[in-house]
Structure 1
Amino acid sequence: MKNTNGSQKREWWNSKTGFILACVGSAVGMGNIWLFPYRMATYGGSFLLVYLIFDVLLGFSGVVGEMSFGRAVRSGPVEAFGTACASRGESKRNIGRAIGAIPMLGALALAIGYSVVVSWIVKYMTGSITGSVLKSDSVDGFAASFGQMASSFGNNMWLIIVLVITFVIMAAGISSGIEKANKVMIPVFYVLFIGLAVYVALQPGAADGYRWMFTIRPEAFKDPMLYVFALGQSFFSLSLAGNGTIIYGSYLSDKEDTVSSAITVAICDTCAAMLAALVIIPAMATTGAVLSESGPGLMFISLPHLFSTMPGGQIVMFIFFLAALFAGLTSLVNLYEAPVATLQDNLKFGRAKAVIVIAAVGAAVSLCIQGIVSQWMDFVSIYICPLGAGLAGIMFAWVWGRRAVEEAVSTGRKHPIGKWYYPLYKYVFCILTIAVFVLGALNGGDWLGAPAPSAPLFFYGF
């Protein structure tokens, strides 16, 4: 099928299941693993309750909107924004395309930084087999080891391996590459984490962790930061940035219901975060440790130290980082897909050529930013991601208009979407996105994550 401006034929997802798993793979990432458990440990069930409210609001508005926007134009953000602007006059198409380049370039920048993080995961996964990452006998020792790896050109070999795996998957195409990879990695991710959760549940003292994380503390609702953290967690975890969900939606059949798909993605994403919490918080409780940090410090310092003290810790650590690798790779593929598709749609590159060009850019830049990846990711996640999501909201609802939005969302449904959807997307989603942008700008890298000793300070939820 051709997109609205008559460009070349696009690939399709082979099944709704493949599409949903790909979207789940995009949403499930490091934010589920290294931040959600920290917030649950801090606020308990109070955080979960507020987080679920934001998940419903953002899932029904933003996720549905971005999926439907991409499908309606059969293209990524560049042509999607151009089509929306062209509805106000063909002369405005190029203005929209130029604006659409912002979230597309943001996806590329995020993917480049994320590649570095996934390479850390691979090193720790392989190091758990050899025992090389478990040699330290103190938290400071683990911190020093991580700091050495996270320095300039400190993890080159593993970074190259991650990029090769990622672009081999992408070169195979949408249905034969990305869809098939997600059909394997996402189910295995859940199986591995369920296995870890069962193992931790059988350890003495785990019950204390469950009681702590599920207790609703009324006093927590008086803390305004609870709502700030819950909003940020939900926004980033659902992968809202005006690029990845739009591009995946562009490969979706008109027969599929984006509302039910978005609900499934949001539920699966929350389940992934809960599984991580059910592993990490009770595991900390079994040793009497306090979950006092989030981000890379939790994942690459505190948890390896914890695993080194647990029975069978070497095996537990391998399974944990293998599951994290699958979460990271599926997100990475989604992020790189936006710029790859842009070259295909707008410059008429073939799939192989587009992947090679983006692979060359990704490899060159990611190798060079290893020592400054925290600052790189801070800038992209705090400013570009919410800006991209906000621009998508403006283009879809405010520029393209109510009729286009309702037609796009109603496609594939047995009954047209209710009149409630348009104001929910136009006002609630856009206002929440502005709030994410403003809060990020005011609070910097600390608003979504707690500083960790000797670790980069950044957060992103993809």
Structure 2
Amino acid sequence: MEQKRERFSSRLGFILISAGCAIGLGNVWKFPYITGQYGGAAFVLIYIAFLILMGIPILVAELSVGRGSQRSIARAMDVLEPKGTKWHWYKYLGMAGNYILMMFYTTVAGWMLYYFFKTAAGGFDGLDAEGIGAAFNTMLGRPGLMTGFMVVVVLICFAICAQGLQAGVEKITKVMMLMLLLLMIVLAVRSALLEGGEAGLEFYLKPNFGALKEYGLLEVLFAALGQAFFTLSIGIGAIAIFGSYIDKSRSLTGEAILITILDTFVAFMAGMIIFPACFAYGVNPGQGPSLIFVTLPNVFNNMPGGRLWGSLFFLFMCFASFSTVIAVFQNIISFATDLTNASRKKVIIINVIAIILLSMPCVLGYNLWSGFQPFGPDTAVLDLEDFIVSQNILPLGSLIFVLFCSWKMGWGWDNFLAEANAGKGLKFPNCLRIYIKWVLPLIVLFIFVMGYYSKFFAA
């Protein structure tokens, strides 16, 4: 007998959890450093334009498939597709995307947790920039340490999911997200008040379009396009599941816009924390991935009360990464409960073991398996896993959602529009049909092809 579908207890819960799924390391880790690399405010404006043009329509499509089917993507297209079509084959790509994402995300979330405890305990006190860099490399060289923190992340997040949708996922994520937003505001104010931080605010908030020529307009456009696309976690059904947990009282365009605004606010505030601090202490904000783990601990070391501010920063990073892990774990649980009659407890026990084992290649990729460098020197297993998800499954999955919602041989435009516009609130415009059916798929295909070009052929 089919189980009754769980429901969120409030609209706020839905918005915060859906945003929590989208809000993650892409916002607070990748967004600031690529903004730094591509010239600051001008890049941010282009990024926001692409969010509106691409991110919101795909988000509405994915939420509509979830709410229309009342299933996770393990069964959503089986329910909605025309008889005899094969859209349901997408389930294997979507489910794989969720699992591969967790194969490296749990490890990086473990790094955040380790850095929170290490900073709070004064582990970076008295170290210079070279010493802090060495501390990060020491952590990467200790598979037992990284495994321990990865396992703690997996156990905490599955324990929250085990409490159920309302009592666990919604209740805990709401608190976590509200604390994350509060921490961001406190840290941003502290950073803005640093002596010398004004130059960082100007770099971040005052557009310098001359910087676009310096980096090459096409490269900047592609970087902004990619970041806008990947920041919302669209394409693997991670958002669709939350559509399946809401009723039809609100139309989905307004909800998608709120999720996007919250996601963008967190990314923007991360920059408000990082850029004034970098400029105040003479640090290059475009240093890439090492910005969080090497550069910022050095900044906090030089800041009055640095241990407190550093601890709060990594606590906020833990909340950002945990919110995504919890959301994806909820999705993974829903796959099994939609496909089988297995109990939630049994599904969680099996997946705790599976995720820990699947996460081990990422952990070992920095030490015992460091000889495996899939994309050349200084790359590891994590880079391969991230490439599979970010450059392949996310764009191809998004393409499938868009085509499924706009083509007659799929769910179709009329069905999609009726679902998206059911309830009170902002309606999805019918006049966008041609754009959704033809233009948006071409943009997504362009991202997919350019991802390969920049990875393997660009100089």
Task: Answer with 221-230 or 117-126: which moved more.
Answer: 221-230
Task: Report if aligned partners of 2:7, 2:166 keep a CA contact under 8 Å in 1.
Answer: yes
DSSP-derived class of the 2:66 partner: helix
Of 124, 148, 154, the residue aligned with 2:138 is 148
Change (3 A) 1:445 1:202: farther
Task: Report if aligned partners of 2:69, 2:77 keep a CA contact under 8 Å in 1.
Answer: no
Q: 1:65-119: CA deviations, max 9, x gaps?
A: 111110000111232222343x1x2x43xx3333222111111110221000000
Could you say which residue in structure 1 is the equivalent of 2:382? 373
Task: Report if aligned partners of 2:251, 2:427 keep a CA contact under 8 Å in 1.
Answer: no
Q: How many residues end up aligned between the 2 structures?
A: 435
Q: For 2:149 and 2:175, locate their aligned partners in 1 and report how far apart those are by CA, in whole Å.
A: 22
Q: 1:234-275: CA deviations, max 9, x gaps?
A: 111111123111111111111122111111111111111111
Matched, 1:275 2:269: yes
Of 255, 259, 272, the residue aligned with 2:253 is 259
Could you say which residue in structure 2 is the equivalent of 1:434? 445
Matched, 1:387 2:396: yes
Task: Report if aligned partners of 1:142, 1:304 keep a CA contact under 8 Å in 2.
Answer: yes
Task: Report if aligned partners of 1:26, 1:239 keep a CA contact under 8 Å in 2.
Answer: yes
Matched, 1:62 2:67: no
Q: For 1:377 and 1:133, locate their aligned partners in 2 and report how far apart those are by CA, in whole Å.
A: 29
DSSP-derived class of the 2:429 partner: coil
Q: For 1:96 and 1:337, locate their aligned partners in 2 and report how far apart those are by CA, in whole Å.
A: 23
DSSP-derived class of the 1:155 partner: helix
Give the deviation of 1:221 after TM superposition.
4.3
Could you say which residue in structure 1 is the equivalent of 2:150? 159
Could you say which residue in structure 2 is the equivalent of 1:212? 203
Matched, 1:423 2:434: yes
Matched, 1:229 2:220: no
DSSP-derived class of the 1:20 partner: helix
Q: For 2:134 and 2:140, locate their aligned partners in 1 and report how far apart those are by CA, in whole Å.
A: 10
Change (3 A) 1:345 1:271: same
Give the deviation of 1:359 after TM superposition.
1.5
Give the deviation of 1:402 after TM superposition.
1.3
Could you say which residue in structure 1 is the equivalent of 2:421? 410
Task: Report if aligned partners of 1:84, 1:396 keep a CA contact under 8 Å in 2.
Answer: no
Structure 1: any 5+ residue segments left out of the alignment? 1-5, 448-462
Change (3 A) 1:82 1:15: same
Q: Name the aligned partner's letter for residue 146 of structure 2.
A: N
Task: Answer with 311-320 or 356-365: which moved more.
Answer: 356-365
Matched, 1:82 2:91: no
Q: Name the aligned partner's letter for residue 269 of structure 1.
A: D
Could you say which residue in structure 2 is the equivalent of 1:312? 305
Task: Report if aligned partners of 1:105, 1:339 keep a CA contact under 8 Å in 2.
Answer: no
Q: For 1:187 and 1:374, locate their aligned partners in 2 and report how far apart those are by CA, in whole Å.
A: 31
Give the deviation of 1:323 after TM superposition.
0.6
Q: Name the aligned partner's letter for residue 380 of structure 1.
A: V
Of 114, 119, 143, the residue aligned with 1:128 is 119
Could you say which residue in structure 1 is the equivalent of 2:314? 321
Task: Report if aligned partners of 2:187, 2:273 keep a CA contact under 8 Å in 1.
Answer: yes
Matched, 1:15 2:10: yes
Matched, 1:45 2:36: no
Matched, 1:97 2:93: no
Matched, 1:114 2:108: no
Q: For 1:189 and 1:258, locate their aligned partners in 2 and report how far apart those are by CA, in whole Å.
A: 25
Q: Name the aligned partner's letter for residue 400 of structure 1.
A: W
Task: Answer with 315-324 or 126-135: which moved more.
Answer: 126-135
Task: Report if aligned partners of 1:61, 1:424 keep a CA contact under 8 Å in 2.
Answer: no
Task: Report if aligned partners of 1:21, 1:186 keep a CA contact under 8 Å in 2.
Answer: yes
Task: Report if aligned partners of 1:166, 1:332 keep a CA contact under 8 Å in 2.
Answer: yes
Q: For 1:330 and 1:148, locate their aligned partners in 2 and report how far apart those are by CA, in whole Å.
A: 27
DSSP-derived class of the 1:304 partner: helix
Give the deviation of 1:322 after TM superposition.
0.4
Q: Name the aligned partner's letter for residue 377 of structure 1.
A: D
1:343-362 equivalences under 5 Å are: 343-362=336-355
Task: Answer with 337-346 or 377-386: which moved more.
Answer: 377-386
Once the two structures are aligned, what percentage of the paired residues are identical?
29
Give the deviation of 1:190 after TM superposition.
0.9
Q: For 2:163 and 2:205, locate their aligned partners in 1 and report how far apart those are by CA, in whole Å.
A: 43
Q: For 1:190 and 1:75, locate their aligned partners in 2 and report how far apart those are by CA, in whole Å.
A: 30
Q: 1:159-214: CA deviations, max 9, x gaps?
A: 11111110011111111111111210111101101101111122111111111112
Q: For 1:429 and 1:272, locate their aligned partners in 2 and report how far apart those are by CA, in whole Å.
A: 26
Could you say which residue in structure 2 is the equivalent of 1:458? none
Of 163, 179, 198, the residue aligned with 2:170 is 179
Q: 1:115-146: CA deviations, max 9, x gaps?
A: 000000000000011122445312x3323322
Q: For 1:445 and 1:193, locate their aligned partners in 2 and report how far apart those are by CA, in whole Å.
A: 37
Give the deviation of 1:291 after TM superposition.
1.3
Change (3 A) 1:367 1:402: same
Task: Answer with 333-342 or 322-331: which moved more.
Answer: 333-342
Task: Report if aligned partners of 2:71, 2:241 keep a CA contact under 8 Å in 1.
Answer: yes
Change (3 A) 1:23 1:129: same
Give the deviation of 1:416 after TM superposition.
5.8
- Output the aligned Cα RMSD: 2.0
Change (3 A) 1:330 1:158: same
Give the deviation of 1:445 after TM superposition.
9.1
Q: For 2:32 and 2:457, locate their aligned partners in 1 and report how far apart those are by CA, in whole Å.
A: 17
Q: For 1:268 and 1:414, locate their aligned partners in 2 and report how far apart those are by CA, in whole Å.
A: 18
DSSP-derived class of the 1:35 partner: helix
Q: Name the aligned partner's letter for residue 429 of structure 2.
A: G
Q: For 2:128 and 2:51, locate their aligned partners in 1 and report how far apart those are by CA, in whole Å.
A: 40
Task: Answer with 408-417 or 65-74: which moved more.
Answer: 408-417
Q: For 1:368 and 1:127, locate their aligned partners in 2 and report how far apart those are by CA, in whole Å.
A: 24
Task: Report if aligned partners of 1:103, 1:384 keep a CA contact under 8 Å in 2.
Answer: yes
Q: For 2:202 and 2:382, locate their aligned partners in 1 and report how far apart those are by CA, in whole Å.
A: 37
Q: Name the aligned partner's letter for residue 243 of structure 1.
A: G
Q: Name the aligned partner's letter for residue 207 of structure 2.
A: I
Q: For 1:189 and 1:178, locate their aligned partners in 2 and report how far apart those are by CA, in whole Å.
A: 16
Q: For 2:32 and 2:98, locate their aligned partners in 1 and report how far apart those are by CA, in whole Å.
A: 26
